[in-house]
Amino acid sequence: MAELVREILIDATPETIWPFLTEPEKHVEWEGTVAEIDPRPGGLYRVLVAGQSQSAGEYVEVVPREKVVFTFGWEQEGHPIPPGSTTVEISLHPEGDRTRVRLVHRGLPDDAISDHGEGWAHYLGRLEIAAAGGDAGPDTPQSHEPTV
């Protein structure tokens, strides 16, 4: 399964960060305008993002001050990521007085596209070069299969 990984170092302890992940009124301070969350296995995860996109799922695993795992998707009809189709894991790793927060979003719909490591890897590589101010050069399609 293809996954997206994001990490951020926060100058706060897991004890301080935890309520922002598990308490509705604190959750909306950073994500969503309405959060209906019941952080226990099988509990509801439903966050209204920017007042329009309704994300939804349910909690799979909750380890206090260590991690939350919940299924994730959008309720909007026809969305490629429907509720329950993907999984998000947010884990907290203490580093001295600080905490590394790691988010892994698994099961994204790019699976089907990124076979054989082509696709995303190729374009993300180009994006990194361009973002760093470099020139990725002309984009040559990577044909690895004989043309039929």
Partner 1 sequence: MDATLKALAEPRRREILRLVWSQELPATEIADRFRDVTRPAISQHLAVLKDAGLVTERRDGARRLYRANTDTVAELRAFLDDYWTSGLERLRGVAEEAEARKRQTRRRTKGRT
User: Interface residues with partner 1 (CB under 8 A)?
Assistant: 4, 6, 8, 10-13, 16-17, 20, 26, 29-31, 78-82, 101, 103, 105, 108-113, 115, 118-120, 123-124, 127, 139, 141-145, 147-148
Closer of 111 and 134 to partner 1 (Cβ) = 111
Question: Closest approach of Cβ 5 to partner 1, in Å?
Answer: 9
8 A C-beta contact, residue 7 and residue 101: yes
Q: How many CA atoms lie within 13 A of 86 on its CB side?
A: 25
Q: From the DSSP assignment, how many helices (H) and strands (E) are in the chain? A: 3, 7
Residues constituting the chain = 148
Question: Which CB sits closer to partner 1, 110 or 134?
Answer: 110
**Token couple for 70:** 């919940």
Q: Which is nearer to partner 1, 42 or 78 (CB)?
A: 78
